[in-house]
């Protein structure tokens, strides 16, 4: 009997130990669960914070992307405008270069025309010098002839400036009347001679035509004087 009771007491002690161990295990589990919940809560908080951080970074990145897109579009627009301006400037430069080339061609043509004109002027000056020299020679010869006419043939010359007429008066023409005056009036009109005589002589139109052809006034006067002399 005592042995059964002792075993019963021992069994109770074992149960108590078991229940205490179970309680201890449950407390340990509860502590583990609490610790796990704490860790999980911390991890959740960290995830929320990290997720917010990543979201903020994503929003900032999206804003940066939008800003870069706007800047890129603006840059493209500026590039297009710059290309348009460059095309306009290139076209304007080409027009200026073309106009400059045309002006250079005009200048070259003008220089050529000027050179030709200078050459022509030089040639005309040479001809004029030759004519001047020839006229001086003719004037000298005419002066000598007039002097001879005045001295030996009784010639006197009177120029009527109002009518551009020169009157040649001869004396010593006729032996019977050496003081008789014979006149030849010569008028220059449009580079042609018009002649009248006093007294009138035959065949004057032909002599006038010959005078205009040869421009030999002294020869013409000599022929007229001979005609005057034949009228004696």
Decide if 7 is inside a domain.
Answer: no
59 shares its domain with 121:
yes
Q: What does the pLDDT read at residue 135?
A: 57
Give the C-alpha separation, 44 to 51, whole Å: 10
Confidence of residue 192 (pLDDT cuts 50, 70, 90): very high
Decide if 126 is inside a domain.
Answer: yes
Give the C-alpha separation, 124 to 118, whole Å: 10
Q: Give the residue-averaged pLDDT of 185-194.
A: 92
- 0.85 exceeded by pTM: no
Tell me, what DSSP letter sits at residue 10?
Answer: H
Range of the domain at 159: 154-230
Give the C-alpha separation, 181 to 159, whole Å: 17
What is the dihedral sign for C-alpha 32, 38, 41, 47?
negative
Q: Whose structure tokens read 């010869």?
A: 141
Q: Give the residue-averaged pLDDT of 157-181.
A: 88
**Domain edge (last residue) among 143, 177, 193:** 143
Decide if 30 is inside a domain.
Answer: no
Single out the residue of 199, 195, 203 nearest to residue 181, CA to CA. Answer: 199
CA-based max dimension of the chain: 228
Q: Which residues of 62-84 are buried (b: 16+ CB within 10 A; e: fewer)?
A: eeeeeeeeeeeeeeeeeeeeeee
Q: What does the pLDDT read at residue 132?
A: 73
139 shares its domain with 171:
no
136 shares its domain with 169:
no
Confidence of residue 53 (pLDDT cuts 50, 70, 90): confident
Range among 14-18, 122-126, 137-141, 161-165 with highest mean pLDDT value: 122-126
Give the C-alpha separation, 126 to 118, whole Å: 12
Decide if 188 is inside a domain.
Answer: yes
């Amino acid at each position: 009997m005592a042995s059964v009771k002792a075993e019963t007491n021992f069994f109770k002690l074992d149960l108590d130990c078991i229940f205490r161990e179970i309680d201890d295990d449950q407390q340990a589990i509860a502590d583990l669960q609490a610790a796990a919940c704490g860790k999980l809560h911390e991890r959740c908080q960290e995830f929320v914070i990290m997720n917010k951080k990543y979201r903020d970074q994503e929003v900032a990145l999206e804003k940066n992307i939008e800003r870069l897109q706007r800047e890129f579009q603006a840059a493209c627009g500026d590039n297009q405008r710059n290309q348009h301006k460059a095309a306009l400037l290139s076209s304007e430069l080409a027009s200026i270069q073309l106009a400059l080339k045309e002006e250079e061609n005009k200048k070259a043509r003008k220089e050529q025309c000027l050179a030709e004109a200078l050459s022509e002027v030089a040639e005309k000056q040479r001809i004029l010098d030759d004519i001047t020299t020839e006229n001086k020679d003719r004037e000298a010869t005419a002066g000598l002839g007039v002097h001879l006419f005045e001295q030996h043939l009784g010639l006197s010359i009177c120029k009527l400036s109002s009518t551009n007429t020169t009157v040649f008066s001869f004396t010593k023409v006729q032996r019977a009347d050496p003081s008789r005056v014979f006149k030849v009036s010569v008028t220059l009109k449009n580079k042609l001679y018009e002649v009248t005589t006093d007294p009138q002589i035959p065949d004057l139109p032909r002599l006038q035509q010959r005078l205009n052809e040869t421009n030999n006034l002294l020869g013409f006067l000599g022929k007229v004087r001979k005609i005057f002399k034949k009228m004696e």
